[in-house]
A and B are shown apart, each in its own frame.
Chain A
Amino acid sequence: MSGASGQRPRKNPLLRTHVPLTPPAARSRIALRLTAAAARGRFELQVCRRCAHVQYPPREACERCLGLELDWKAERGAGELLAETTLHHSHEEYFRLRLPCRIGLVRLESGPTLVTFLRAGARGVGSRVLVAAHLDRAGQAVLVARAVGEQDSMAEDRALRELTCSARQRKILVTDGKSATGQALIRGLLQTGAELVWAGTAEPWKPAPGLDELARDPRVTPVPLDLTDSDSVRERVAQIGAKVDILINNAELHRPYGIGARYGVEVARAEMDLNYFGLLRLAQELAPVMRARSADAPASAVAWVNILSIYALSSFPAQGTFSASKAAAYSLSQCLRAELQRSGVRVMHVFPGPLDESWNEQLPGPKLSPEALARSVLGALEDGIEDVYPGDLAQEWLARWREDPKVLERELAAGG
C-alpha cells in the first residue's frame, strides 16, 4: 500500500451533513478575466498596452495613462509580504466554518499591492513570496501567496484545501476502466493515494485485458456501468453514488469520418448515445447526489471531470461526427458546471488532442499517450484547474482558436 494513501478519517454518522456553502461569488465583469485565467491554471494581470503599467484590482482603464487597451498578461507573482493578519471573525458563513484564516498584503515586484490568502509558509513582514491564482469553491479566482520554495500541498491547509480537488484519500469513479485512458487514469489515481477507485465496465462479460490485473489491487473495484443504458446508470448510482468524491467520465465512442464517407446515421447516433446522452444520463442521476455531498465532512464530493476533445471547440472534418458529439458534450457540461456552481463541486473539462489509440491510426503525430492524459488530469485536480488542454497539439489548437476561431475553421477545412 502506498505511503500517501492513509485512510481518511471516518465520518461521524451522528453528525449532520453540512449544506453546501460557497465563498462570495460576485465579481465585476472585468474581474472575471482573472477567473478565466485561473481556470486554465494561470495568473494574469492587466498590463497597459501604451505605458506598460501593471495594475490590480482590475480596472476599465489604465490608472496611470488612462489607456483603454489593457492586455491580460502572465504575471510571475514574485513579491514581498507587507503585512499579515489572522482572521478570527468573518461576515460570511462559508469562512466562519473555516476560521482562523490568514491573509496578507503583498507588493509585487511588478508594482501593484494585492490582498491574498497566505499559505502556512508565507509569514514574516519583508519575506519573499510567490502569488498564484486559484479557483475557490465558488469557482472564482482568488490569489494565494506561498513562501518561495514552499511545496506542501494546499490540501493540508484548513482554510485553503478546498482550492484543490486532490485525488488523495478520495473515492473516485472512472466510467470506463477498460480503455487505455481509463487504465492509465486508474494507475495514476492509485499512485496519488486515492482511497478507492471504481472502474466502470460496460460489458462485464467481455474480457478486459489490463483491468483484471489492476483489480488485484484491493483499492480497485470493477463495477458494471453502461452509460448508454439508463437502468445501468441508475443502479450504479444507487449503489455507490453517495460515496463518489470525484467522477471521471472517460467513456467515449470514437469513430473516424465526417458526413460524406459514411451512409446512414447509426454510427453518429451511437457516438451521441454514449458521448452526449451518456453524460446526460449520468448527470441526471449522479449530479444531485454529489451536489448534496459537497460539504460532507471530512471528505466531500469535489469534482466532476469530463474527458472531451479539442475537436469540441471546432470541428475536425476528418472526424466530423465524433467532433459533433464532443461539441454537444462540451455544451452540456457547461450546463452541468453552471448547475453545480452553487454547490462548489468543480466541473473540469479536459480537451485532449488525438490520443495514441487505434482509431487515430491514420493521423500523423504528435498524439497524446494515455499516461500523459492521466498526468494532466491528476495535476489539474491537484491544482484545482477547470479547463485542461493536455499535450502540444491541444495547446496549439487552443492558441489558434483563441486568436481567431474563423481562421482555425478555414485551416481545418483545408486539412488541419
Chain B
Amino acid sequence: MSGRARYDEVVVAVPVTVPYVRYSIRGAHWFAARALAGLLSGSGLAKSAIDGLCFSSFTLAPDTAIALTQHLGLTLSWLDHIPLGGAAGIVALRRALRAVQSGDAAVVACVAADTNQVHSFRRTLEHFSQFAQDAVYPYGAGGPNASFALLTARYMREFGVRREDFGKLCVAQRQNALAFPHALFRKPLTLEQYLRARPIAEPLHLLDCVMPCAGAEAFLVMRRERARDLGLRAVAVLATSERHNAFPEDALQLRGGWALDREALFAAAGISHQDVDLVQTYDDYPVMSLMQIEDLGFFAKGEAAQFVRTHSFTTDGDFPVNTSGGQLSVGQAGAAGGFLGLTEALRQLTGAALGAQVANARCAVVSGFGIINYDRGLACGAAILAAQTP
C-alpha cells in the first residue's frame, strides 16, 4: 500500500444536478451558473464562501475555468480546469480533497457543465484530439461509436460475452432510471427492444450508445466540521486512484488502469469487495461498465458473461450498478457524464436518492473513464465513498 495521506478530515456534500435537456440554445456558462447556484442554495453558503473551483467542460470554448471566475463573479484562492471527460469527476474530487486538506482552499466547488447545440457534438468530435483528427475521424467519422465498436467486438470474442449480456445491464439501468426524475429515458426497456435496436457500428446498436445532451453536475468539498456546522449530509472518501495511459503496450484495449490500482485502492480504504453496496461506472458503452467492474476486481478477468448472468443490477438487486440509470438512460451531458456517478453515490450514501434508494447503502465504488485520444480511453480513476457514521 502506498504511503498516501488519508482524507479523514475532508468530506463531500451537496450533490447538484442541473436537469438535462437533449438540446439547448444556452451556453455551457449558463449550465455552470445554475450548478453553482444549486451548490449555494443546497449548502446555505454565500458565493463569497466558495474559494476554490474545479471545472470541467467540452463546450466552454474559447473559455477555460479562469474565464468563469469573471463570468460568474467568483474570487478564488484556488482554481483548476480538468479536461478529462469521463474521468473528470474522480480527478476533480482528488484535487479538491487535497486542496482543502492542505488548506489551500476552504470550500471547493467541483462543477461539470456542458451545453449541447445541434452541431456541438460533431464539432467536438472533429477536433477532439490531434490523433483523432489525423487518424480516426477520417475513417468514416463514426466518433466514439466506431472506437468502442472495435473494442466491444474484440471483448465479446475474447471473453465470450454476448449482446444479451450487455442488454441485461442496459435493461437494469433503464429500470433504475424509471424512478430518477432527471433521466431523459423513462420508458421501460425490454431485452427484445434492446436487441432489435438498429445497428450503429457493429456490434453496437442504438441502445448501447449514450445520447449527448446538455446539463450539469456539481458537488462541494470541505472540511468535516464545516459540513457539520452547515448541517449538510456529507460523505467520507476512503480512497481514490487515477491512472493515465495504462498498459500502452496492449495492442488493443481490453483492460484499463483500474487493474493497476485496485489492490492499493481497496487496501487504502480498508474494505473488501463484499463491503461495497453499489457501483457507479462510467457507462459510455456497456462494455466499459463491465470492464470497470472487472478491473476493479469484482470478478476475475474474462468472467464478465458469468458475472452478468448471475447478478442483478437494479437498485433492489444483489449488485446495484448505475442506480440513477447511468448515462445510458439519463443522457450524457458532456463532462457532466463523468460526475453523474459521484453525485448519485453521494445521494445514495446519504439516504437522499432522487429515485430508488438502495437499502442500507453504506459504501459505494465510483469509477471514471475518459478521453479516447486515439484507439483507447486514456484516463481512468476510481473512488471509494462511505456514509459517515452519525
Binding site for B on A (CB under 8 A): 23-24, 26-28, 30-31, 34, 56-58, 63, 82-92, 94-95, 101, 103-105, 107, 113-117, 125, 136, 138, 140, 142-143, 159
Contact = CB atoms under 8 A, between A and B. Distances in A.
Contacts of A90: 140-142
A88 B198 contact: yes
A85 B153 contact: yes
Nearest to A126: B157
Contacts of A85: 142, 146, 149-150, 153, 201-204
Nearest to B123: A91
Nearest to A89: B200
Interface string B100-143: 00000000000000000000011001110011011111111111
Given A90-B140, A103-B140, A82 B251 contact: yes
B122 A27 contact: no
A31 B121 CA distance: 24
A57 B131 contact: yes
Contacts of B138: 23-24, 136, 138, 140, 142
A58 to B, nearest CB: 6
Given A89-B142, A90-B140, A115 B201 contact: no
21 contacts: A24-B126, A57-B130, A82-B154, A83-B153, A85-B142, A85-B202, A86-B201, A87-B142, A87-B200, A87-B201, A89-B200, A90-B140, A92-B141, A103-B139, A103-B150, A104-B150, A105-B154, A105-B251, A115-B136, A125-B154, A142-B139
Contacts of B122: 91-92
B377 to A, nearest CB: 14
A105 B254 CA distance: 13
B329 interface: no
Contact of B140 (A56, A57, A95, A138): A95
Contacts of B125: 91
B347 to A, nearest CB: 34
A306 to B, nearest CB: 27
Contacts of B136: 115
Nearest to A108: B251
B199 interface: yes
A106 B202 CA distance: 17
B127 A117 contact: no
Contacts of A58: 134-135
B264 interface: no
B247 interface: no
Interface string B178-215: 00000000000000000000111111100000000000
B202 A56 contact: no
A89 B134 contact: no
Most chain A CB atoms below 10 A, which of B150, B251, B374: B251
Contacts of A104: 150
Interface residues of B, number: 38
A114 B198 CA distance: 27
B150 A95 contact: no
B252 interface: yes
Top 6 closest A-B pairs, CB basis? Answer: A92-B141, A85-B149, A31-B134, A57-B135, A83-B150, A83-B154
A117 B139 contact: yes
Most chain A CB atoms below 10 A, which of B126, B139, B201: B139
B134 A101 contact: no
Contacts of B251: 82, 105, 107, 113
Nearest to B252: A82
Nearest to B205: A88
B375 interface: yes
B151 interface: yes
Contacts of B56: none
A107 B375 CA distance: 12
Contact of A24 (B141, B149, B153, B374): B141
Nearest to B130: A28
B348 interface: no
Nearest to A88: B199
A104 B153 CA distance: 10
A182 B143 CA distance: 46
Contacts of A28: 130, 133-134
B375 A105 contact: yes
A138 B136 CA distance: 15
Interface in B196-247: 198-204
B145 interface: yes
A57 B374 CA distance: 8
Contacts of B375: 105, 113, 115
Contacts of B121: 91
Contacts of B199: 86, 88
B318 to A, nearest CB: 33
Nearest to A98: B140
Contact of A115 (B130, B139, B202): B139
A91 to B, nearest CB: 5
A103 B150 CA distance: 9
A105 B140 contact: no
Most chain A CB atoms below 10 A, which of B135, B202, B204, B375: B135
Nearest to B149: A85
A91 B130 contact: no
Contact of B135 (A56, A84, A92, A101): A56
Given A85-B201, A88-B202, A23 B130 contact: no
Contacts of A91: 121-122, 125-126, 141-143
Interface in B131-180: 131, 133-143, 145-146, 149-151, 153-154, 157
Contacts of A116: 139
A135 to B, nearest CB: 11
A228 B75 CA distance: 73
Contacts of B202: 85-86, 88
A96 to B, nearest CB: 9
Contacts of A113: 251-252, 375
B135 A115 contact: yes
A115 B373 CA distance: 13
Contacts of B374: 57, 115
Given A104-B150, A115-B375, 8 more contacts: A58-B135, A87-B149, A89-B200, A95-B140, A101-B140, A105-B150, A115-B135, A138-B138
